[in-house]
Structure 1
């Protein structure tokens, strides 16, 4: 017979059971934490998810196991099972960057009472905080204030308390032009109870107060000028840290975590620096640094050799730091060890390190095995966004015309402009119609157009634009024009045009004709979306054997050499026209047309008017490499099995050399042909 419990005994037994389970702390366990105590805390980070909630490619209309927040969620759950003490933060570029995001922002905007799909997914995982990246501002301040649940005292801002994420967003370096106050809280304190151990090995549960402060890239004022000019101001990252860290430190948090949507750059600091993480790490008082924006991983080989950076253990100027990839492909983890000394927690740097955990293994030669080894999707995420996901698919399948040719970016760097020519044609057509109304004095100035391939394999072998011949849908336009930029036109001259093309030509390494070994054609440090290719009756030659700044050896318009003072209008996007990419002569001061329309929408309207596009609608490739005979092969990496695409585009000088077994191959290009 079981002993009978008195009413008084029952809660005592329950307490004993709870204590054994580690669920309840005794009163003396939650008091002052003794010196000599030790704790391990894992700081988990996502960044640059870009609203890729599901493992799905909306351009190809098929699942894609290599990305998706639903798989990052699995890594988060595994990390929490591994570490008893965790904090979870997001470093920004969260709400924009996928068809799903555009659908919820532009096509059928969510209401004040509706939470964005990406935030619903993140709330399911229980975040402790985050910050705003540059792409948070792409849809305007009213949308941003609404979907983050943050009333903003700015022109056009949302003043209601709408549905937003269930975690705090902090941002210290963007201020309202009305009152000078930050548009988000610059900092806040997150409190957690953590498990620690005393010197004698006793387990205790104690509170941990973590201060967080956030920063976004200052160049947002250039990149999103049409959304931000006159409404907000921005300060440098270091200046904002010096301004608000003392306030945060006055609250005596146990740790301070800086959440920066930015990477690492050791160039001389300026308040406009895009990737100021190296300098932010030098501001006293920061215990851990979360990075983003660069779409790469830290710790990682890209940062090996950088001054005062440990690219293996994950330290920047002796501050533990991490940057966890992009599109939901990775989870950043800082494993902090804390020692209690003189009444405060101190980071044990010798036993602390960072790592980036991918959802799929890297470096595997067997693409099939690699795919099978990807972590599974967390089953709790997809049902939260299914309705919006299905609506986005229906939207991108809206027919808009047809094409008689394949438009791809597989060989955009080598001269196949089929994916860029429709953009250039649509942009130029728009400006030739609209500009004379605003500036009759410019009606006779030649209009050129610049476009860059946004998808050139940076994200893997599937990260290319590829629109098949046949019916065109809104999905085709979204594939051709990936970002939600607006259209801008700038006035320049022949000298400015040549400088523009010289900057673009930095996409290529300098090739030595006498070198016997392999030479890489593509400069991996110069991003593909900064390789502008310009059309509109011009033709130019790029000589990759010459030094940077001396590569455009021929430049003509309508068959005649371009003179340095010859006027031109060049159509581009708001990012480039306002200084994005640091092109010479482009700082926003020579914009003659800033369209309210998105470039993608302008492209859609042009495709609808053409009904069927083919060679007759598109200008041929406007440039070529200077003939160059080399002793050794000139090579580049691309998607496997695409040599036929090159051949169909007239690039018969490209041949496949080596299959890497992961969906990529090495191609050789004969520059003498």
Structure 2
């Protein structure tokens, strides 16, 4: 009689440092975080002895708690401690693991009781994986041998500060996956092969049509459709919720901030010492308001959580007026005092008179009255530094045209958001608002011809005019498909985190009076 067993694969991805069920901007019982996920994980582990737990990357960055930790004197990383407690089998490097530099990764990896994987994050000198091995093999209690291959989006050099990835080579994720899947199938007698890829899908899973510019940032569709030998593909990076069977592979992407747990169930039978997969099922188990918090995990992070709350409630300045955000869509249609404020700080620090910034997310509250660190990190959610580039007028116009594609006209001829900025992942941070120049965007015009006015100091900007412009390091590297900024001369780099620059500005200007001026408008 055949031996029949089920193998359970539990997957997390893009938790972004969220342990407690809060984003630290409001409600402290939100449906997210590793402390709630832990309850579901423990429940699932009790159902089968053949269970693997895998994190797919972007774990040590992204929440006020982790920002506070990376700037604290705490000796242990709370989220790594939590992962150790939950007995993760492996972790895979995400792109945001590099945001605090390699020393932060070294500490996280060194404190982990589980191996980290990324077959394509290589030492430039030796061409060998820097952190751990390309893959590991796990054998379950029932004798099922499982290979887990870890791969990371190779697009990281397009976003990350050079100092943070010094000595690192990111080989092509697709080519690396293809090589190692073939190697494992030829040299390892495994029953199941899992690829955990910190990257997403560049094409629609149903139609195969491109859903983004094919830069190589996301190669999940190619991996899924062109590489044989994969049984399970775990993905992330795009913060989507995906659970399905595609080309006979189980596919998972479990969202963001610990809002759901990915689960793949493989039913196997053993005949003559050979395991055969008979059935695959993929699902997402959502975290809800009613999901209990794991007391064990919350205790592990308690000190860091309390320290974070104290740090966030520290007053840093005062706004004598209103820089609050009431309607993020309207904010993007004309100069808003909050955007003026951020651009003013960037110009002041960089000593230039042209700046650009985004409203990074639609939940940004803005500032009004007393300002604390909580407001700072709620508005500026990324660990960006600043870069001054030398641009010509043609570059500025092209960048404005790309931002203008954020808008479209609906059937009633009203301004609305272009779906390309909403799906497959909301990307409001790729719409920039400039200061130091005057411009007008007319959305009734074709994409690429929407900049209908463009001036600097009252004079039309010519294509070959030269300007020094300050922006965050992500945009300066061309992030968000701003290819016109790639490889431009770097005039200056300000290596201080933007949130720290905001605090410094309030320290020097304890009372900030908003500036109300209009240098751009968006019309139909």
Fold match (TM-score > 0.5): yes
Question: Residue 532 of structure 1: which of 429, 432, 442 is its match?
Answer: 432
Computed over aligned residues only, the root mean square deviation of the Cα atoms, in angstroms, reads: 2.3
TM-score by length of 1: 0.71
Counterparts in 2 of 1:81 and 1:339: CA distance versus 1, 3 Å: same
8 Å contact kept, 1:277–1:291: yes
Matched with 2:407 is 508
Cross-structure match for 2:206: none
Return the index of the structure with the highest Cα Rg. 1
1:147 aligns with 2:108: yes
| Contact in 2 for aligned 1:496/1:584 (Cα 8 Å) | no
Deviations, residues 141-172 of structure 1 (Å, cap 9, x unaligned)? 122112211xxxxxxxxxxxxxx222111110
Instruction: Kindly indicate whether the alpha-carbon contact (under 8 Å) linking 1:450 and 1:572 is maintained by their aligned counterparts in 2.
Output: yes
User: Within the alignment, does 1:452 sit opposite 2:358 as a pair?
Assistant: yes
CA separation of 1:423/1:237 partners in 2, compared to 1, >3 Å: closer, same or farther? same
Alignment counterpart, residue 16 of structure 2, candidates 32, 44, 50: 50
How far does the alpha carbon of each residue in 1:514-570 deviate from its partner, in whole angstroms, 9 at most, with x for none?
x6xx8844532361011111112x222222223322222222223332222222222
For 2:176, the equivalent position in structure 1 comes to 240
Provide the C-alpha distance between the structure 1 equivalents of 2:128 and 2:264, rounded to a whole number of angstroms: 32
Normalised TM-score (structure 2) = 0.91
Gaps of 5+ in 2: 204-209
User: What is residue 304 of structure 2 aligned with on the other side?
Assistant: 388
CA contact (8 A) 2:395 2:485 kept: no
Does structure 1 residue 356 correspond to structure 2 residue 320? no
Partners of 1:567 and 1:465 in 2: CA distance? 33
Instruction: Report if aligned partners of 1:415, 1:621 keep a CA contact under 8 Å in 2.
Output: no
Measured after TM superposition, the shift of residue 133 of structure 1 is: 0.4
Q: Which residue of 2 aligns with 1:254?
A: 191
Q: How does 1:263-662 map to 2 (within 5 A)?
A: 263-266=200-203, 267=210, 273-281=216-224, 282-299=226-243, 314-340=244-270, 343-348=273-278, 351-360=279-288, 371=289, 374-415=290-331, 417-432=336-351, 447-456=353-362, 464-511=363-410, 520-523=416-419, 524-525=422-423, 527-536=427-436, 538-615=437-514, 618=515, 620-626=517-523, 628=524
Q: Conserved in 1, the CA contact under 8 Å of 2:390 and 2:488?
A: no
State the secondary structure of the residue aligned to 2:264: strand
8 Å contact from structure 1 (residues 278, 316) kept in 2: no
Residue 483 (structure 1) shift: 0.7
Change in CA separation of 1:512 and 1:497 when aligned onto 2, cut-off 3 Å: farther
Deviations for 1:170-190, whole angstroms, at most 9, x for unmatched residues?
110111123221112111112
Would you say the 8 A contact 2:407–2:415 is kept in 1? no
Q: Are 1:38 and 2:38 matched, yes or no?
A: no
SS of 2:143's equivalent? strand
**How big is the shift at 1:229?**
5.0
**Matches of 2:211 and 2:253, distance apart in 1:** 22
* Residue-by-residue CA offset, 1:274-322 (whole Å, 9 max, x unaligned): 11111122322211110100011003xxxxxxxxxxxxxx123331110
Instruction: Provide, for residues 577-612 of structure 1, a one-character-per-residue CA deviation record: whole Å limited to 9, x for no partner.
Output: 112111131224432222221122122211221211
Give the 4+ runs in structure 1 shifted more than 6 A. 268-271
* Length, aligned pairs only: 508
For structure 1, which segment, 322-331 or 78-87, has the greater mean C-alpha deviation from structure 2 after superposition?
78-87
Residues 407, 465 of structure 1: 8 Å contact kept? no
Which residue in the other structure is 1:108 paired with?
Answer: 72
Matching residue within 74, 94, 98 for 1:133: 94
